[in-house]
Structure 1
């Protein structure tokens, strides 16, 4: 191809200039070249619905390869974003910037330019989806990741780019939450820690507490200093300053804050910055999955943190401990978002069929009078006479009865449950088993979320619709009758799972991966090209 055309392309001239050069060289009218360009765009866009839809809607007008500053600005913004994807923990190799640049340099014909046009749009949409909604599809990673990710329409994204200022459009793509911005900073901080040689030697095992001294205490002191929990000191003693530092570390890692460095605390202190970096990268991906309007007022349940919170305008206005599902395939609490519509005071517990057949049926077969606190009813709601029923004739498949526990202080759901109707049969509720809330790791339920302070939670919810929320709730409670209380304004509920999170003071905190889900997500990210050694600041 003549040097004149190659020069036109390499100088970044727009579509009109390049087509004019082609027309001058070939004798073909510019109008014919434009038609050929549109045909090339249509062909390249075939098979990608969003891209094809966009170009048809604008009669195949150029978005990237047109003439003028606006087109150059879009190209520059795209290339700049793709060259810096690692800021967001995304793998550079996924977007092949070098290949795109080569394709642009080697565009010598009308068809080539049309192909470049669509290649840039495809690269933009891939980047936009990854940075806005995540690289991975949750349910493909773990059956408990049932979250529905909100994906933006690709044609709408392209139209938004056509109409907006390019840099502003690209800045608006990633999550704009403070949580995400702080995770991005923590990623850089941990990457630099890894590059600088970690946090030093591991701390030897064995319990250490105030009053101790020796080599183990020195190793603990040095590790806490390196991690930023303790000021530099020559002390070899487990003094009050170290005790405060240990308590601060424990609080930041969801541990019992007793100021004693026991086995659990030492285990967490010895977690490497590389592992913490993995947690942060996973948390960034998870934050992209929930890149949506969560509601000015909403309920946030962090399964890995064993907490339930009410968030008002970004501020935590209520917080309580929670118990989540056991770490068993059929008991783990799922992750999803829904809307809380009502609460039920003095609830009956309608035993889920899975619990009936797996737990209670075998007991009834051994002893028909077992679990007398449960009422067994037939399909018509009539109570079954246990003495005259042969439970051994039934299996999990054909068991024909229902089981229910009447309202009481000993009811499995306690005295109140909070409903956001969903196909997973998950809700928040009270429990008579209060002792579990004192434990550090609280995964004991069949899947629903138990609350340590359910009455206070109810008062907080009702405060928006009752002048005396506590008095109103207590009056309903004292009737002893099962009563439904609708929330005048339903609340979004988000069940999430974050092992890396940012405290209100802006400090990174970490939790154990109790279900092993984050390990699976990291493996998937790694397979997709994310590598710790490749992460750059």
Structure 2
């Protein structure tokens, strides 16, 4: 072999050696240079973290050593885990643009100097804390959006987020941040399903008819049939007549939307059928945010009152063991039932009704000023609870501010609270109770009270609660009831009560349900989420 034949090989090896030498020289920094780079990095971290007390404390304890931007395998694992979690932020209804992993990667790659890397180190920690808070306890502060939401959100310590992350496998820790409830998982699944459906045209054309019923035919029935098929309420069909198959599908739809399940597609039913898929997605996203606000144990046994479902249920280990219809606060200002959680510790059988001050001066005082015998079934009482003779009172002498009396309705079947009330003492004076106004439970929309929650089956509700502590709960309850005496019955094991507002929710069977936003709360929450960058999306696949 001639030397000329070897020249291409030598040239290639020579160039490779030069390239390797350049790499070696690039990293072969002197100890003094390495120390200077470390100092510059830590100085940048210290400066960047100084604007945030938690980050400053965290990095100060580490002598401003990084956790994200280094070259170790653990640093890479942390970076990759965070980037992967941020890529899924939109799945959870978080503002995807704020957590854009591609932009973050580009910024990391562009950080060449120690100072730039130090700045990115702090930025990644700040982004991690924002993501952890958003996905675990929500984006919004509920009461700042809707004043009637009095829920205390279980916020976590930001420092504990960082310390917990450092003490765990990165990907595993991030996977634990979203709510672990079965409801959240089901809502997430339904959200993804609806997003894929939206990418393929949603539920198709709306139904233009004003109403449809059995025996109808034509284009309106076809549009109704197609939407019911797309929504999953019936199998594919070629029928153009409102037959028993469509009627049964309409009933299933009505049941899933809190409507009277008569099988007729009247105006109210068609209004709900024509709600766009994108609007239903908004409801699911709001429900997921609401679930994050309640990301704490609810109690193995608890009472779950969904205001817009007009129902109250006793839950045992996430299963409904008793459920009844409810009447909630009227939609007018000052009467809407607030949302909060508390603990029920007793019930009162044969209760008196101590009339709230707002009702006394707002409703009853004007009536008694017109006629002192108005509302005569309710007693006027003084500061010591003694009955006052109305004949001795000139009601016209008083205003709402100066009226000195209280009012009490004694136990009776006519009592506004009925014959039993269930108490979870709270600053809002809200509780569950019986009512003599039974006819209201037959209505579809049941918002009529001053704020308290009336139960359709209060005795049975009481039996179910007492079953945990009485061998014969029904007999025990009835003996007290028949005595006619006002009696407090303590619950041996107090039961958490959660008053919620869910226009989108699931059953353990997987059935997705929607309800009407009667207090206009979810629309306000959605608008606030949209202002934070949350958006409805359609995804392929």
- Name the TM-score class by shorter chain: over 0.9
Residue 426 of structure 1 aligns with which residue?
430
Whole-angstrom distance in 2 between the partners of 1:241 and 1:134: 42
Whole-angstrom distance in 1 between the partners of 2:184 and 2:75: 30
Structure 1 residues 82 and 472, CA gap change in structure 2 (3 angstroms) = same
Deviation per residue, 1:59-113 (Å, 9 max, x gap): 4333223442111111111111112211111122223545533442233333333
Alignment of 1:154-173 (within 5 A): 154-173=158-177
Q: C-alpha displacement at 1:451, in angstroms?
A: 0.8
- The reply on whether 1:482 has 2:492 as its aligned counterpart is no
- The reply on whether 1:377 has 2:409 as its aligned counterpart is no
Whole-angstrom distance in 1 between the partners of 2:434 and 2:243: 41
Structure 1 residues 191 and 236, CA gap change in structure 2 (3 angstroms) = same
Whole-angstrom distance in 2 between the partners of 1:283 and 1:435: 31
- The reply on whether 1:279 has 2:266 as its aligned counterpart is no
Residue 451 of structure 2 aligns with which residue?
447
Residue 24 of structure 1 aligns with which residue?
29
Deviation per residue, 1:297-335 (Å, 9 max, x gap): 111111111111111111111111111100012011111
Structure 1 residues 176 and 218, CA gap change in structure 2 (3 angstroms) = same
Residue 354 of structure 2 aligns with which residue?
350
Query: What is the TM-score of this pair, normalised by structure 1?
Result: 0.92
- The reply on whether 1:361 has 2:365 as its aligned counterpart is yes
Structure 1 residues 29 and 209, CA gap change in structure 2 (3 angstroms) = closer
Whole-angstrom distance in 1 between the partners of 2:130 and 2:337: 31
Residue 218 of structure 1 aligns with which residue?
222
Residue 5 of structure 2 aligns with which residue?
none
Whole-angstrom distance in 1 between the partners of 2:41 and 2:540: 39
Q: 2:408 is paired with a residue of what secondary structure? A: strand
Residue 183 of structure 1 aligns with which residue?
187
Alignment of 1:247-396 (within 5 A): 247-396=251-400
Whole-angstrom distance in 2 between the partners of 1:343 and 1:456: 13
Q: C-alpha displacement at 1:23, in angstroms?
A: 9.3
Q: C-alpha displacement at 1:372, in angstroms?
A: 0.6
Residue 234 of structure 1 aligns with which residue?
238
Whole-angstrom distance in 2 between the partners of 1:52 and 1:128: 18
- The reply on whether 1:85 has 2:71 as its aligned counterpart is no
Q: 2:29 is paired with a residue of what secondary structure? A: helix
Residue 140 of structure 2 aligns with which residue?
136
- The reply on whether 1:246 has 2:250 as its aligned counterpart is yes
Q: C-alpha displacement at 1:289, in angstroms?
A: 0.9
Q: C-alpha displacement at 1:36, in angstroms?
A: 4.7
Structure 1 residues 374 and 22, CA gap change in structure 2 (3 angstroms) = farther
Whole-angstrom distance in 1 between the partners of 2:493 and 2:186: 31
| Residues 342 and 420, structure 1, Cα contact 8 Å, conserved in 2 | yes
| Residues 198 and 538, structure 2, Cα contact 8 Å, conserved in 1 | no
| Residues 199 and 540, structure 2, Cα contact 8 Å, conserved in 1 | no
After superposition, the CA RMSD in angstroms is 2.2
| Residues 375 and 403, structure 1, Cα contact 8 Å, conserved in 2 | yes
Q: C-alpha displacement at 1:33, in angstroms?
A: 4.8
- The reply on whether 1:145 has 2:187 as its aligned counterpart is no
Query: What is the TM-score of this pair, normalised by structure 2?
Result: 0.92
**Which has the higher Rg, Structure 1 or Structure 2?**
2
Whole-angstrom distance in 2 between the partners of 1:40 and 1:449: 57
Match among 192, 213, 217 for residue 209 of structure 1: 213
Whole-angstrom distance in 2 between the partners of 1:477 and 1:39: 74
| Residues 346 and 416, structure 1, Cα contact 8 Å, conserved in 2 | yes
Q: 1:93 is paired with a residue of what secondary structure? A: helix
Whole-angstrom distance in 2 between the partners of 1:493 and 1:48: 37
Unaligned ranges ≥5, structure 2:
1-18
Residue 467 of structure 2 aligns with which residue?
463
Structure 1 residues 53 and 23, CA gap change in structure 2 (3 angstroms) = farther
Residue 6 of structure 2 aligns with which residue?
none
Residue 115 of structure 1 aligns with which residue?
119
> Stretches of 4+ moved more than 6 A in 1?
20-23, 534-537
